[in-house]
Chains A and B, each alone.
Chain A
């Protein structure tokens, strides 16, 4: 049996700590230790993006990072996306466009799309499709997802102009 390691991090702005096995991935720790089950395990090999989270401001697959590597890192997950009960513009547009069916890929796609709009508030459709190429969806055919992302981007630009 492996020794457990104590890890201290920040998750969605709050201090968090957990005891983990050195084999465990960040995804295991988020889901099993911190009970944040929004990030999903689709493939476990970095191909599907269902486990997308932000680590120190970078989009990564939580399945391809060891939990022990999270020490001292700033982690953001889908659970931190709605602020005080208010949905993020991306979430609102995903609902409006019905950009999901089974929903398994949705948390990862929302986290990845939020990262896109932070890096590039005015993406072209091609840029959005390439950015999200690491997020697989087997239900929607992507069209509604892309439309929701483009509309959310427009909403957010509007909001910024208004404020």
Chain B
């Protein structure tokens, strides 16, 4: 086995430096629940591991400017225990807590879920629907990137050499807002989404939809922000016509694979069904 260099820097600058020094053979480590599996199977053979969990700001949750900031390496278990975050963003928290088992939750992070770049990653549609922003640190300083701009294909991200995600920012939450995430899996636990759907919406005082964002997972090479599906709801009440248009827009966005977990036809159909159901939950939460 090749030499492996493990570093656990405490500042973002040092992490960037270590990633650059490692060149193409450096990898960021957060919870390791994807990375270690891939290293052990021989699929990945990094020469440098930059553990970012000790980097200042990479773990923990804080409230700022009316919104939330979640450290990129914060574990699902910590996210699930945060009462204020769970109150404001129940869909995002539920999506995060769907990742793996209790053991996996003890380590798995949002940044790892995103940067592993699986089209089926559960927290990603929920983060996209939430309009979450990634704070990316790199050799040229800090930039802010929408979550949907990180993955470019299965296993591939738009992050440049030396860059990593330090934290996620969730926008301030207007009154009468709600979110939801649903996934379809053949079992009740410990399985990979066949389709996932995240919804985030805000209602007007009269109960019409003022703003809506719908994102789908596992129906394309990357998770999708389906703008037409959100637009189908805006200015409407929760009626049959709005739901039919939402369903059609969700199905129209699908470009899924055909595999043993689900055919193209099945995944496409389920995308519409999950969008309807997730909207109903988010709507009810927004009205409550």
Contacts and interface: CB of A to CB of B under 8 A. Distances in A.
A66 B29 CA distance: 10
A93 interface: no
A45 interface: yes
Interface stretch (A9-17, A55-63, A75-83): A55-63
Given A3-B3, A52-B103, A45 B37 contact: yes
Interface residues of B, number: 30
Given A49-B101, A133-B189, A134-B190, A60 B4 contact: no
How extensive is the interface on chain A, given as a class? 35 or more
Contacts of B1: 2, 23
B6 A46 contact: no
B103 A65 contact: no
A108 to B, nearest CB: 9
Nearest to A64: B36
B106 interface: yes
A9 to B, nearest CB: 14
A112 B40 contact: no
Given A61-B103, A68-B6, A133-B189, 11 more contacts: A2-B1, A5-B6, A21-B4, A25-B36, A44-B40, A46-B104, A64-B31, A69-B32, A69-B53, A71-B8, A134-B190
8 contacts: A21-B4, A22-B6, A44-B40, A64-B32, A65-B107, A132-B102, A133-B189, A134-B101
What are the nearest 4 A-B pairs in CB distance?
A: A134-B101, A133-B189, A58-B106, A22-B4
